[in-house]
Amino acid sequence: MNPQEINRQLEEMQPWPVERLIAYLRRDHQRFLGKDLTRMRELAEALGMAPLHAFLGTMDSELRGHFRMEETIVFPVIEVMKNKEAGELHPALEYACRHMKADHLLHERHLQVLHSFTSQIDTQQGSELSIPLLNLMDDFASEMELHLKLENNFLFQPFLKFRSSEDPKDS
């Protein structure tokens, strides 16, 4: 998925109701952890790429904690709050959305590190493993990028647009 394709997908998904978006994001979580990261780790191990294997393990634990927080706290509250004034829950929800968005900056940095590993993969050696690994790393990166944008722009943004009293013009 190139940047234009990601933007096209975003445009297509913008009108989706919150429930559909959350169902899509939950399915992504399952695939990222249960399939993509597991398979990438197996391939990295089989190719003897210990640093990549270790890095994928770090990403796996970071994402596991983040996804758990989204699925158990953030998504359910957002679903309950749709079409309603967040009222007293607003500060807590705003805090949670900011926290998730800050994690996403770390995930973006992780994707850059992951990308930097691609140059170390020699497609001449063990091409039956190295080529699937490269393809999987590319697909994972663009799917994660779309995932982060869907959450930041469509799911969290509505709860972040009201700033506190720092700037009355924005409140």
Residues that bind Fe ion (CB under 5 A): 70, 151
CB 32 within 8 A of CB 63: yes
Residue closer to Fe ion (CB basis): 72 or 125:
72
Kindly state the smallest distance separating residue 101's Cβ from Fe ion, in Å. Answer: 8
Minimum distance, C-beta of residue 22 to Fe ion, in the bound complex (Å): 9
Q: Which amino acid is at 53?
A: H
Cβ closer to Fe ion: 138 or 145? 145
Q: Which is nearer to Fe ion, 94 or 151 (CB)?
A: 151
HEC-encoded secondary structure of 8-42: HHHHHHCCCCHHHHHHHHHHHHHHHHHHHHHHHHH
DSSP state of 159: G
**What is the closest distance, in whole angstroms, from the C-beta atom of residue 100 to Fe ion in the complex?**
5
CA distance 137 to 26: 20
